[in-house]
């Protein structure tokens, strides 16, 4: 008996491996289950429940149109990439899913997604109807998804708090931003809030501020990570120092990781600024009046220094899982989700931007926020490198920055050496992983 | 054992109840059949369990071991039968303690050992003390026993997520009590990041595990006759002596299994840190189960993750073997 129990307990140990394993599936798309689709939606709203509310009418309309029932699951950002990876490994996944557009090339490399070749594209429509396909996969390969929500980072600021501190306009340079932030950091209020514990948010800013210092994350062939270049170190340090040195970020933000807390602090007036992707919808849900906030581009570096980049090409793509049992239905669903009326309906609800040109005829997308984000997206944003190792970059560097924020919060020194050491670790981890 | 002769074909013996029944009634075959049935019946009962054990535990384990010899990077995960073999490369990377992956693994192993020793030790101490205190009957004993079991009865996820809310720095109950009400510190400590995170994880783990010790030890105490204590009292043994000389030796078989099981569970604990910290725990609380998981997403090389899991399995096998050897020998000596 003792041995039996022992064996089963030890076997449990191996389940760590097993849970990642499961059996790999190599089957390809077919149409054996034509009446249902499983859809993994990303969390675009203020909560999972909010997403369900926004998407339910669209799914009902799709069912009415095609007779296909869509079973939807909304997946939080903190789980999405791992869930997708587990699905790719096991072959057990949804038919259609949302992916962060920055992951496109990584997921493309797994071969678990259906490429949108010309035959598939012809069922959906012309490529030229889309604003941009720059973040849908590696150059020269068929895209593994089509954009459904476009976005960019902007600097949201609280107009009342700015007025009370005697600041007339949002900052346009980094120095102004820190100076304004310090004026606004008084009496339990802070200049800025950040999601210091979120791997993906951290990684996005590592990219944006790295760009501002002229860094490039990978070697030219895209294979060798170079996260610890002096330029990248400077970029990451600039971001962490908002808390460590400039002290315009509350140290509590080092704990924020679920992608809503920093924004809630802004909405409730605890902080005066937040760097966020289109968030008008969420701010409204969180109870902030649209008259109380403004949006400006995140300050760019002085002309001639680094790259004039203040956002990544952010957004969500919709992809089809290669093992789908309802390929035709999945393609129909992608066509539906990228159709002009649905694009208008969903993006207006979420405060993101439509990805098809025709949708911009709707005056809903002429708000001040949309104009700023459109301008950023059109002129000063850059896509994250579309290389196979991009997703690993987000996890490895995001995790290191989370630790740096934790250090900053507990008063440990943040300097070139500590930041470089953290980024070198991330670099080596990825290189050793092969 | 004698070989089956042609005159007694086995097939007849294995077909009970049906057409074979009259034949079985004939003389010498009957006792042999009965014997075989007696021998075979337990295996028949075991069969479903064995099949499930194979499906749920052993086959994934074998796959895990197989995977650890593959170069299972992102280019192969969707069709990993095509992944090239890696030989011992994954093991080399994991065991290269000078390299980034190996040194992180070693760090994580050390954290896990500390976590396991402290968690099992404290859980065992609190659980045993509580069950000894509850040994004598008194009014309200059953109510208190039930209350004690609540942490163990709650679903892990719900219980740990409540802890994570309580441990938040600005809005958590813990800091509210420590800072706002008792004024023990002026700055609000962090519990979920930095060095305190280890202690947070330990406290949650002990809180969850001690009722299990309480349950097992209470059951063990039932088998100790009260006469033993009476005899000890007559001999003038103090309470402390009674516990040391009567209770503990008689609880030895229970404790032996209990400590082993708790150690293995705690060593492999994934739920507590995952729910408390999310998928990338602070370095100070980077225990092995979650480290292996997270490492796989940093490299997307599941071969390395599998190699680490296999080594973890071997490590625990050795620990368990040594433990059983020592405790059994001591018992034989005693």
ipTM for the predicted complex comes to 0.81
Q: What is the rounded distance in angstroms from the CA atom of residue A192 to the CA atom of residue A253?
A: 10
Asked if residue A349 lies in contact with residue A54, where contact means CB atoms within 8 angstroms, the answer is yes
What residues pair up with A353 in beta bridges, in sequence order?
Answer: A150
Residue B77 pLDDT: 83
State the smallest CA–CA distance between residue A400 and chain B in angstroms.
10
Which of B72, B73, B91, B100 should we substitute to test contact with A (largest number of A Cβ atoms within 10 Å)?
B100
B 252-271 residues inside an 8 A Cβ radius of A? 257, 260-261, 264-265, 267-268, 270
pLDDT band at A18 (very low <50, low <70, confident <90, very high): very low
User: pTM of the prediction?
Assistant: 0.85
B-chain residues near A400 (CB < 8 A): none
Minimal C-alpha gap between A378 and chain B (Å): 32
Q: Is A433 on the interface with B (CB under 8 A)?
A: yes
Q: What residues does A100 pair with on adjacent strands?
A: A316
Mean pLDDT in residue range A333-348 = 95
Distance from CA of A379 to the nearest CA of B (A): 32
Taking CB atoms and an 8 Å limit, are A252 and B60 in contact across chains?
Answer: no
Considering Cα of B5, then B10, then B13, then B15, what sign does the dihedral take? negative
pLDDT tens track for A212-229? 999 999 998 888 999 999
- Residues 71-100 of chain B with CB under 8 A from chain A are 71, 73-75, 77-81, 89, 93, 99-100
How far is CA A326 from its chain centroid? Answer: 28
C-beta separation of A277 from A288 below 8 A = no
A122–chain B Cβ distance below 8 A for any pair: no
Ranking A46-50, A342-346, A375-379, B109-113 by mean pLDDT, the lowest is A46-50
Touching B: A residues 42-81, CB under 8 Å: 78-79, 81
- Kindly state whether B67 is in contact with chain A, defined as any CB-CB distance less than 8 angstroms: yes
Q: Is A204 helix (H, G, I), strand (E, B) or coil?
A: helix
Among A243, A169, A227, A251, CA closest to A399? A227
- Chain A with chain B: Cβ pairs closer than 8 A: 193
Instruction: Give, for all 334 residues of chain B, the pLDDT tens digit.
Output: 344 444 444 444 444 444 444 444 444 557 777 777 777 888 888 899 989 988 888 898 898 999 999 988 888 888 877 888 888 999 999 999 988 889 999 999 999 999 999 999 999 999 999 999 998 888 999 999 999 999 999 999 999 999 999 999 988 999 999 999 999 988 899 999 989 999 999 999 999 999 999 999 999 999 888 888 899 999 998 989 999 989 999 999 999 999 999 999 999 999 999 999 988 899 999 999 999 998 888 888 889 999 999 999 999 999 999 999 998 887 666 5
Nearest to B79 among A24, A85, A392 (CB): A24
A256: which chain B residues are within 8 Å (Cβ-Cβ)?
A: none
Q: How far is B245 from chain A (nearest CA, A)?
A: 26
Q: Which residues of B touch A18 (CB under 8 A)?
A: 60-61, 63-64
To test the contact with chain B by mutation, choose from A16, A202, A323, A424 the residue with the greatest count of B C-beta atoms within 10 A, namely A16
Interface of B with A in 14-33 (CB under 8 A): none
Q: Which of A11, A91, A106 comes nearest B61 by C-beta?
A: A11
Q: How confident is the model at residue A65 (pLDDT cuts 50, 70, 90)?
A: very high
- Residues of chain A neighbouring B58 (CB-CB closer than 8 A): 11
Q: Do B67 and A322 touch (CB under 8 A)?
A: no
- Identify which of A6, A109, A251 has the shortest CB distance to residue B320: A6
Residue A258 near residue A115 (C-beta atoms within 8 A): no
* A-chain residue closest to B284, CA distance: A403
* CA–CA separation, B206 and A422 (whole Å): 32
pLDDT band at residue A27, thresholds of 50, 70 and 90? low
- Closest approach of chain A CAs to the CA of B126, in angstroms? 24
Neighbour count for residue B269 (Cβ, 10 Å): 24
CA-nearest residue to B92 within chain A is A432
Best mutation target among B193, B302, B331 (most A Cβ atoms within 10 Å) is B193
Contacts with B, A 362-401, CB within 8 Å? 388, 391-392, 395-396, 398-399
Looking at residue A79, its pLDDT comes to: 85
Chain B residues near residue A25 by CB distance under 8 angstroms: 78
- Taking only the tens place, the pLDDT of each residue in A394-423 is 999 999 999 999 999 999 989 999 999 999
Is some CB atom of chain B closer than 8 A to the CB atom of A15? yes
Chain A residues close to B75, C-beta within 8 Å: 109-111, 388
**Interface list for A 236-275 with B (CB within 8 A):** 250-252, 254-255, 257
Q: Which helix (H) or strand (E) holds A99?
A: strand A96-100
Give A-chain residues touching B195 at CB under 8 angstroms. Answer: 410
Three-state SS sequence of chain B: CCCCCCCCCHHHHCCCCCCHHHHHHCCCHHHHHHHHHHHHHHHHHHHHHHHHHHHHHHHHHHHHHHHCCECCCCCCHHHHHHCCECCCHHHHHHHCCCCHHHHHHHHHHHHHHHHHHHHHHHHHHHHHHHHHHCCCCCCCHHHHHHHHHHHHHCCHHHHHHHHHHHCCCCCCHHHHHHHHHCCCCCCCCCCCCCCHHHHHHHHHHHHHHHHHHHHHHHHHHHCCCHHHHHHHHHCCCCHHHHHHHHHHHHHHHHHHHHHHHHHHHHHCCCHHHHHHHCCCCCHHHCCHHHHHHHHHHHHCCHHHHHHHHHHHHHHHHHHHHHHHHHHHHHHHHC
Q: Determine contact: B310 vs chain A, CB below 8 A.
A: yes
Residue numbers in B near A428 (CB within 8 A)? 99-100
Residue B171 half-sphere exposure toward CB, CA atoms < 13 A: 8
A2 vs B193, more confident = B193
Return the residue of B nearest to A25 by Cα: B79
Q: What's the mean per-residue pLDDT of chain A?
A: 89
pLDDT of residue A282: 85
Range 121-160 of B in CB contact (< 8 A) with A:
none
- Write down the pLDDT at residue B82: 84
Residue of A nearest to B197 (CA): A406
Whether A78 and B282 lie within 8 Å, measured CB to CB: no
For residues B243, B248, B249, B250, the Cα torsion angle rounded to the nearest 10 degrees is 100
Compare B7 and A101 and report the one with higher pLDDT.
Answer: A101
Q: Look at residue A173 and tell me whether its pLDDT is greater than 70.
A: yes
Whether pLDDT at A25 is above 80: no
| Chain A touched by B4 (CB under 8 Å) | no
Tokens of B192: 């979920």
Place A242 in a pLDDT band, splitting at 50, 70 and 90. very high
pLDDT band at A11 (very low <50, low <70, confident <90, very high): very low
- Which residues of chain A neighbour B267 with C-beta distances below 8 Å? 13
Min CA distance, B171 vs chain A (Å)? 10
Nearest to A432 among B101, B195, B324 (CB): B101
Q: What pLDDT does residue B21 have?
A: 43
Determine contact, residues A150/A377, Cβ cutoff 8 Å.
Answer: yes
How far from B332 is each of B318, B325, B327, CA to CA, in Å?
Answer: 21, 11, 9
Quote the tokens at residue A390: 């991009």
Give CA–CA dist A401/A77, Å, rounded: 18
Give residue A425's pLDDT: 92
Taking only the tens place, the pLDDT of each residue in A38-48 is 999 999 888 88
Q: Evaluate if residue A162 carries a pLDDT over 50.
A: yes
Tell me which chain B residues have a C-beta less than 8 angstroms from the C-beta of A250: 170
Distance from CA of A169 to the nearest CA of B (A): 31
What lies within 8 Å, CB to CB, of A18 at 6+ separation is B60, B61, B63, B64
- Give the residue from chain A lying closest to B196, CA to CA: A410
What tokens does B132 get? 């000894």
Compute CA distances B133 → A297, B221, B244, whole Å.
66, 11, 14
Quick one: pLDDT at residue A432?
A: 80
User: Is residue A188 helix, strand or coil?
Assistant: coil
Q: Shortest CB distance from A21 goes to which of B63, B79, B294?
A: B63
């Amino acid at each position: 008996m003792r041995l039996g129990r022992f064996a089963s307990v030890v076997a449990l140990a191996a389940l760590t491996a097993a849970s990642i394993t499961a059996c790999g599936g190599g089957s390809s798309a077919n149409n054996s289950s034509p009446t249902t689709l499983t859809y993994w939606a990303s969390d675009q709203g203020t909560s999972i429940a909010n997403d369900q509310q926004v998407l339910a009418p669209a799914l009902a309309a799709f069912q009415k149109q095609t007779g296909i029932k869509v079973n939807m699951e909304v997946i939080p950002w903190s789980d999405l990439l791992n869930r997708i990876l587990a699905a790719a490994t096991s072959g057990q996944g949804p038919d259609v899913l949302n992916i962060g557009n920055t992951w496109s090339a990584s997921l493309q490399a797994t071969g678990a997604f259906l490429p949108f070749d010309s035959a598939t594209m012809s069922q959906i429509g012309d490529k030229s109807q889309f604003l941009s396909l720059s973040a849908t996969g590696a150059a020269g390969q068929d895209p593994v998804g089509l954009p459904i929500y476009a976005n960019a980072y902007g600097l949201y600021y609280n107009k009342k708090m700015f007025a009370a501190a005697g600041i007339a306009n949002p900052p346009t340079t980094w120095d102004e931003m820190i100076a304004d932030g310090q004026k606004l950091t008084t009496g339990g209020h802070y200049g800025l809030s950040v999601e210091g514990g979120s791997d993906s948010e951290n990684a996005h800013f590592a990219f944006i501020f790295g760009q501002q210092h002229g860094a490039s994350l990978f070697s030219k062939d895209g294979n060798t990570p170079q996260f610890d270049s002096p330029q990248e170190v400077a970029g990451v340090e600039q971001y962490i120092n908002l808390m460590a040195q400039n002290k315009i970020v509350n140290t509590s933000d080092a704990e924020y990781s679920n992608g809503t807390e920093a924004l809630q602090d802004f909405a409730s007036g605890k902080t005066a600024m937040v760097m966020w992707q289109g968030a008008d919808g969420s701010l409204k849900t969180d109870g902030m009046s649209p008259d109380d906030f403004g949006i400006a581009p995140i300050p760019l570096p002085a002309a001639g220094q680094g790259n004039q980049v203040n956002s990544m090409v952010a957004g969500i793509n919709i992809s089809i899982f290669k093992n789908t049992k309802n390929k035709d239905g999945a393609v129909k669903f992608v066509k539906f989700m990228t159709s002009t009326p649905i694009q208008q309906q969903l993006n207006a609800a979420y405060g993101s931007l439509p990805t098809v040109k025709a949708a911009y005829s709707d005056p809903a997308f002429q708000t001040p926020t949309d104009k700023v984000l459109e301008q950023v997206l059109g002129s000063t944003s850059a896509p994250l490198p579309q290389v196979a190792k991009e997703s690993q970059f987000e996890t490895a560097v995001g995790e290191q920055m989370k630790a740096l924020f934790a250090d900053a919060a507990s008063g440990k020194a943040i300097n070139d050496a500590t930041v470089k050491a953290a980024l070198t670790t991330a670099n080596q981890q990825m290189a050793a992983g092969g | 054992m004698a070989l089956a002769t042609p005159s007694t074909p086995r097939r007849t013996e294995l077909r009970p109840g049906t057409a074979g029944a009259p034949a079985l009634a004939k003389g010498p075959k009957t006792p042999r059949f009965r014997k075989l049935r007696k021998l075979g019946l337990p295996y028949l009962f075991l069969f479903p369990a064995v099949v499930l054990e194979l499906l749920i535990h052993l086959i994934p384990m074998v796959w895990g071991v197989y995977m650890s010899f593959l170069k299972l990077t992102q280019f192969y995960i969707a069709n990993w039968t095509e992944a090239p073999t890696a030989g011992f490369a994954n093991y080399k990377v994991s065991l290269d303690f000078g390299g980034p992956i190996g040194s992180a693994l070693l760090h994580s192993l050390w954290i896990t050992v500390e976590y396991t020793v402290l968690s099992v030790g404290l859980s065992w101490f609190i659980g045993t003390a509580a069950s000894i205190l509850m040994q004598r009957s008194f009014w309200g004993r059953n109510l208190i026993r039930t209350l004690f079991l609540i942490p163990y009865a709650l679903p892990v996820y719900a219980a740990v997520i409540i802890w994570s809310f309580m441990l938040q720095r600005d809005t958590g109950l813990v800091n509210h009590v420590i800072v706002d009400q008792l004024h023990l510190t002026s700055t609000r400590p962090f519990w979920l990041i930095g060095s305190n995170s280890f202690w947070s994880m330990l406290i949650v783990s002990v809180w969850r595990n001690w009722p299990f010790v309480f349950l097992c030890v209470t059951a063990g105490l039932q088998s100790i006759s009260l006469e033993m204590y009476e005899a000890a009292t007559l001999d003038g043994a103090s309470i402390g002596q009674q516990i040391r000389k009567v209770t503990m030796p008689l609880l030895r078989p229970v404790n032996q299994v209990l400590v082993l099981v708790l150690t293995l569970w705690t060593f492999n604990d994934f739920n507590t840190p995952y729910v408390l910290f999310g998928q990338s725990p602070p370095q100070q609380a980077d225990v092995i189960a979650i480290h292996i998981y997270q490492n796989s997403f940093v490299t997307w090389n599941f071969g390395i993750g599998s190699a680490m899991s296999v080594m973890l399995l071997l490590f625990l096998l050795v620990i368990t073997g040594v433990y059983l050897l020592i405790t059994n020998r001591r018992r034989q000596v005693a």
